[in-house]
Amino acid sequence: MSVIAIENLVKTFGGVRALDGLDLTVEPGEVHGFLGPNGSGKSTTIRILLGLLRRDSGQVRLLGGDPWRDAVALHRRLAYVPGDVNLWPNLSGGEAIDLFGALRGGLDPRRRDELLRRFDLDPTKKCRTYSKGNRQKVAIVAAFASDVELYVLDEPTSGLDPLMEAVFQEEVRQLTQGGASVLLSSHVLAEVEALCDRVSIIREGRIVESGTLSELRHLARTTVTVETGRPVTGLTELPGVHEVRPVDGRVRLEVEPEHLDALLTHLVRFEVRALTSTPPTLEELFLRHYGETIDSDRQAPAGGTR
């Protein structure tokens, strides 16, 4: 049974359709990357999963239950790190961690101390004096010290430095080794590439792409650069080959993955001397879905499009 199963989810705020038929599935034990720019509906989806917002229509199952109706029972089995962590200004960080742990159903004190040490967080400071990164650490420590089945992380590392980012990634791996599932909303693509088993890309309230990274790569073109003894001809007539252009005596082109084999068969006739093939990066995948938005934003008159 899936940890998270969302079908055709719709949520509107006034006249704005924040979620427009969203589908999302997270399987047990996986780290699922949830990618999309600000305002695409990531946090709204997460708030519906947490029973904070009511869905207008669609099916949502979380750990086998209804996130709105069974909120309290489900919340014992998950931990949440918000993107923008706000805390009680007059409580110390340590008190806030213990409080969140207790309200969730208890935390492991040894794990808590280990996490405090690893994230280099001083628990005696009052929450009002913490920087954004330190407030995020408080939420991360409180969540990771809880032994739960699902971790819902909404842009958890936006305030962390690279050192802490590395610690964060190690800790997430440790969680999944214990069998937990993670929904990781992020726009740090390197983090998603490093951690996630599967990725869903959201755009304007819908999932536009979902799958493992290699599956997603199969949907995008591979860049091939080839150096041959004789000039290559007939490339543009090949199916699935695009953007052919000469570069420093070599030829660079993009090819759809299913036509790679035909391309290689064609190329060997021209005495191949060197050949590199680069699969698309996550960034390229991401921009493929958002490129047109960016372009149209650029062309739009000042004042924005949204």
Partner 1 sequence: MSAFTGTGRLTRLALRRDRIRLAIWTLGSPLIGYALAESVASIYPEEQNRIGYAEVANTSVVARAFNGPVASTDLGAVVVTETYLTLAVLAALLSTFAVVRHTRQNEETGRAELLGAAAVGRYALLTAALVVVVGANVLSGALLALAFVGAGLPAAGSVAAAAIVGVGLAFTGAAAVTAQLSVTSRGANALASATVGVAFLLRATGDVLGQPAADGVRLVSAWPTWLSPLGWGTQIRAFDDERWWVLTLPVALLVAGVAGAYALAERRDLGAGLLAARRGPARATAGLLSPAGLTWRLHRGALTGWAVAVAVLGLAMGLAGNEVDDMIADNPAAAEAIAQLGGGAELVDAFLAAMLGLFALTIGAYVVQALLRVRGDESDGILEPLLATAVSRYRWLGTQVAGAVLGALALMLLAGATTGLGYGLAVGDPVGWTVDLTGAALLRLPALLVVAGVVTALLGALPRLSVASSWAVLIVFLLLGQLGAALDLPQAALNLSPYTHVPSVPAVDVTVLPLVVLTAVAAALLALGLTTFRRRDTPT
Of residues 35-94, which lie at the interface with partner 1 (CB under 8 A)?
47, 50-54, 71-73, 75-76, 78, 80, 82, 84-94
Any contact of residue 32 with partner 1 (CB under 8 A)? Answer: no
Closer residue to partner 1 (CB): 143 or 226: 143
Of residues 148-207, which lie at the interface with partner 1 (CB under 8 A)?
152
Distance CA 126, CA 97 (A): 12
Give min distance, CB of 135 to partner 1, in A. 11
Distance CA 56, CA 52 (A): 13
Exposure string for 237-268, b = 16+ CB within 10 A, e = fewer: ebeebeeeeeeeebbebbbbbebbeebeebbe
How many chain residues bind partner 1 (CB under 8 A)? Answer: 42
Give min distance, CB of 146 to partner 1, in A. 9
Among 12, 57, 59, 129, binds partner 1 (CB under 8 A): 129
Exposure string for 22-60, b = 16+ CB within 10 A, e = fewer: bebbbeeebbbbbbbeeebbbbbbbbbbbbebebeebeb
Give min distance, CB of 120 to partner 1, in A. 14
Give min distance, CB of 34 to partner 1, in A. 16
Closer residue to partner 1 (CB): 138 or 232: 138
Distance CA 116, CA 164 (A): 12
Any contact of residue 22 with partner 1 (CB under 8 A)? Answer: no
Q: Are strands 206-212 and 78-81 parallel, antiparallel or unpaired?
A: unpaired
222, 279 contact by CB (below 8 A): yes
Site residues for partner 1 per CB under 8 A: 47, 50-54, 71-73, 75-76, 78, 80, 82, 84-95, 97-100, 102-105, 123-126, 128-129, 139, 152
